[in-house]
Structure 1
Amino acid sequence: MLKNFEEITKELTDNERDVLYPLIVSGLSRRKGKQNSISGSEICEALNKRLNAKKITPPRLRKIIQAIRINGDLYNICSNSKGYYLACSKQEIDDNILSLQQRIDQQQKIVDALRWQSNQTQF
């Protein structure tokens, strides 16, 4: 769980783990290659329409996909500005790793700046 984002980063609910998780694994397994990516909003819309019950939100979808990636239940899930897909080549994986690392690096710059600013400020 992330501080200040507890509601959207809490552990998976029973419904998310038992119902949504396998549906997402199944759906993403057919999305091979960048050209077959599907956006998070498209996934949410399809699931919400199909289940007609508990609504899945984009942050919770990201949490479920994070779990799928970490658990290794579906290999090589990549993402870009167009959505999620399974890598078809080492290059697609390498590009995705680079993109993730660049985002981490940018977040670290923000952390470093806030720490410096906090030390410069008298509250």
Structure 2
Amino acid sequence: MIPNFEEYTHDLTEYELSLVPKFSNSFKNKIGKQNAVTSKVIEEKMIDAGHKVSGPRIRKIVNYIRNIGIVEGLIGSNYGYYITTDKKEIEDYIESLESRETAIKVVREGMEAYLRRLKIKENETKG
């Protein structure tokens, strides 16, 4: 669970876990970006089927499916979610993930530096 985002990042509920097979099976025919499906479409289809699952929780379920390897090659892009076996698409996706990791790391390091300055300032006023 991620602090300040608990509502969206908490572990999957039993109800959400019960939806994993439905999600996994629906992704199996989403081969190639021309067959991609967006979170919004998934959410609408889930509502139509009587399930209430929000966009952030859909992403959490997809993350779970990827992390335990239920659906290999499942990537997300501006097209939506789809399966690929195209090595170039996989390499590009990995590069995208690495870029996002780097961007988050830069923000974290900036906040750590700011926190250090605040602590120094606090110690100076105490001393």
Instruction: With the length of structure 2 as denominator, give the TM-score of the two structures.
Output: 0.88
Separation (CA, whole Å) in 2 of partners of 1:88 and 1:28: 14
Give every structure 1 segment of 4 or more consecutive aligned residues whose post-TM-superposition deviation is greater than 3 Å.
Answer: none
SS at match of 1:32: coil
SS at match of 1:85: strand
How far has the Cα of 1:22 moved from its partner? 0.9
Q: Percent identity?
A: 31
Q: How does 1:1-123 map to 2 (within 5 A)?
A: 1-18=1-18, 20-50=19-49, 52-53=50-51, 55-121=52-118, 122=121
**Structure of higher CA gyration radius:** 2
How far has the Cα of 1:90 moved from its partner? 1.0
Separation (CA, whole Å) in 2 of partners of 1:67 and 1:15: 14
Q: What whole-Å deviation, never above 9, does each CA across 1:77-96 have from its counterpart, x for those lacking one?
A: 11111211101311111111
Q: Which amino acid aligns with 1:115?
A: E
Unaligned runs of 5+ in 2: 123-127
RMSD: 1.2
Separation (CA, whole Å) in 2 of partners of 1:72 and 1:36: 20
Separation (CA, whole Å) in 2 of partners of 1:47 and 1:10: 20
How far has the Cα of 1:12 moved from its partner? 1.0
Q: How many residues align?
A: 120
Instruction: With the length of structure 1 as denominator, give the TM-score of the two structures.
Output: 0.91
